[in-house]
Structure 1
Amino acid sequence: MNTAEAKERAGPRTFSPQDDMPEEYRKAATRMIQFHANSEIMGAYLEKPFIRQAPSLDRKLAFSAKVQDEIGHGQLLYRAAESLGIKTREQMLDELAAGEGKFLNCFHYPMTKWWETPMIAFFVDGAAMRRQATIKRTSWEPYAHAMDKICFEEGFHIKHGEDILRELATGTRREQELVQEAFDEWWPRILQFFGPTNDQSTHHDFAASVGLKTMSNDELRQAFLNAYLPKAEKYGLSIPDEPRIRYEDGRYEVVEDDLDWDEFWQVAKNEYDGSKEQIGSRADAQSAVEWARASLESHDSTQTPQAAD
């Protein structure tokens, strides 16, 4: 490892761009932040159609603001990753469009119905906040600084998602049935949001040892269950029979063997059918505005500095 054993097994905000650090640290931090940035972008693409499809002007405005926030989060994170000196922002965006960039499992699945929206805007964003709040103490300082802004805005996103869930849960019987159906379908995916169990995770040990991560996947999943199962029940949602949830000693615990980890790993490798569709949409969007980027770059190259007064 070295660089003084990665600054004595780094604490919060230990490393800055001007510091010396092991190459292994640079690569691990780049991989982790690039994954996070990709996920912000792909989550925004999943929710973008609801700017038009939302049932009221207020909901359309809220989704428009949310999508803009998520794209902005992605840009902040690409810059935080870029500051490690391994990859440029453009390289990371090109990898995402080419199907080489990885992103969170929940954003590989299509979301087409209004009553599905709180599954992302409340439950997935709630899970994200559990993880992101811990990253404010990460050892890579630019990442932690980005999380200060991101967590502030994500708090509003969760309130937005909860408001939609409340509206559906107190609506007609048919609306209640539809949101329950969406919950049944999305619940296993939400539980897998935190990634594989500790014994299956490839990168956890090193990331934890140098302070990039401060909680394990299992610990985060546990904290999410304890906080969000009571909220689901508050809104009248029945917890699906599978995966089984145990309640012992005042806390909830998922039976991990009930989760489809084969599908999870297929998703993680961008080999799921939904993965190809979502990545294809991102590639099409990037291609559609290529002319704009080329035009801006051409314009910049033809500008000459103004003469000093």
Structure 2
Amino acid sequence: MTEEMSLDSYLAQGGVLTNPMNVPPRYRAELMKLMTTFVDSELAGAAGFADVINAGPGIKERIAAAKIVLEKTDNANRVLKVMGEFGVDGDRYANHHPWTARLDRDADIGASRTDHDMRLAVFNYPLNGWSDAVVMNLLMGRAVAVQMAEFSMVSYQPLAEAFRAIAPIEARHAELAEEGLTKLVEGGNADGLQASVDYWWPRVAASFGAADSTKADSLKKMGLRKSTNAELRTRWEAEAKTVLDKLGLKAG
């Protein structure tokens, strides 16, 4: 107990862990949940976006979409390598879940997960064509940017380093989505785009989890979180709203 309390104090004061052998059970469980959620979300997101590559209006757009699919899969692999240090078989893992599985478009599961895997709830909804995919990629891309800033400071150093390498790649995905959405707005389909914003906004917002989560304090003590769900969501709302306002679209 004394050793465990000493480790808690070390982590609460900003200490880091670097080796699976030094990770206590409770910390390991939360760390694995964080990594699994990220990997599952990246693989499910890549699988969903792959289906709309050929819906791109031009070669440039299709190349950008294909690059996003490739890089999201590679980002998942980066974190899978860290999971491998804890005994996870990355090759088996990548083929274990139905990454393309989706619910009906009008389903509403809030922040809950399905039986498929640990993907964020937002990745259980299907994309409805190219414009809808661009809107979703913009809103979720901004959400991922907020989350990457948070996760890049986790107390398990190998994972923090992986997230710091991933962060600029994911930021670029959001930039590509903004460029694509700007082009769509200029093409004169504001009503359809606003409908997509209205659809995806609450679903992306739900990806931050419950505002009144009771786990924040324990995660902070373990150095796995710095901010609350509500604080992260508020940052995302402000950043996403700024981009939408610039394009003449309204936040949900």
Q: Is TM-score (shorter-chain normalized) higher than 0.5?
A: yes
Shift, 1:239, TM fit = 3.3
Report matched runs for 1:51-200 at 5 Å. 51-85=53-87, 87-90=88-91, 92-93=93-94, 96-97=97-98, 99-172=115-188, 175-197=189-211, 199=212
1:193 is paired with a residue whose SS is helix
Q: 5+ residue gaps in structure 2?
A: 100-114
1:96 is paired with a residue whose SS is coil
2:230 to 218, 225, 237: 218
Residues 11 and 155 in structure 2, CA contact (< 8 A), matched pair in contact too: no
Amino acid at match of 2:193: V
Residues of 1 paired with 2:145 and 2:238: CA distance? 14
Residues of 1 paired with 2:93 and 2:26: CA distance? 19
Q: Deviations over 1:39-70 (max 9, x none)?
A: 00000011002221111000111111110000
Residues 131 and 220 in structure 1, CA contact (< 8 A), matched pair in contact too: yes
Residues of 2 paired with 1:124 and 1:190: CA distance? 6
**% identical equivalent positions:** 23
Report matched runs for 1:11-26 at 5 Å. 14-17=16-19, 19-26=21-28
Shift, 1:202, TM fit = 5.9
Q: Deviations over 1:63-87 (max 9, x none)?
A: 11110000001111112223234x4
Residues 7 and 14 in structure 1, CA contact (< 8 A), matched pair in contact too: no
Amino acid at match of 2:185: A
2:119 is paired with a residue whose SS is coil
Residues of 2 paired with 1:11 and 1:38: CA distance? 30
Q: 5+ residue gaps in structure 1?
A: 241-309
Question: What residue number does 2:110 align with?
Answer: none
49-58 vs 9-18, greater mean Cα deviation: 9-18
Question: Considering only aligned residues, what root-mean-square deviation do their CA atoms show, in Å?
Answer: 2.2
Taking structure 1 as reference, are residues 229 and 6 closer, same or farther at Cα in structure 2, changes over 3 Å only?
same
Taking structure 1 as reference, are residues 202 and 108 closer, same or farther at Cα in structure 2, changes over 3 Å only?
farther
1:132 is paired with a residue whose SS is helix
Amino acid at match of 1:227: E
Taking structure 1 as reference, are residues 100 and 207 closer, same or farther at Cα in structure 2, changes over 3 Å only?
farther
Report matched runs for 1:264-303 at 5 Å. none
Residues 80 and 142 in structure 1, CA contact (< 8 A), matched pair in contact too: yes
Residues 13 and 144 in structure 1, CA contact (< 8 A), matched pair in contact too: no
Shift, 1:189, TM fit = 0.7
Amino acid at match of 2:16: T
Larger radius of gyration: 1
Shift, 1:232, TM fit = 1.0
TM-score (norm 1): 0.70
Shift, 1:25, TM fit = 0.8
Q: Deviations over 1:210-268 (max 9, x none)?
A: 0111211110001111222122111111234xxxxxxxxxxxxxxxxxxxxxxxxxxxx
Q: After TM superposition, which residue ranges in structure 1, 4 or more long, deviate above 6 angstroms?
A: none
Q: Deviations over 1:182-214 (max 9, x none)?
A: 1111111121121111x2x36433222201112
Residues 29 and 81 in structure 1, CA contact (< 8 A), matched pair in contact too: no
Question: What residue number does 1:227 align with?
Answer: 239
Shift, 1:166, TM fit = 0.6
Residues of 1 paired with 2:150 and 2:159: CA distance? 11
Residues of 2 paired with 1:5 and 1:113: CA distance? 50
Residues of 1 paired with 2:81 and 2:116: CA distance? 19
Amino acid at match of 2:197: F
Residues of 2 paired with 1:114 and 1:225: CA distance? 23
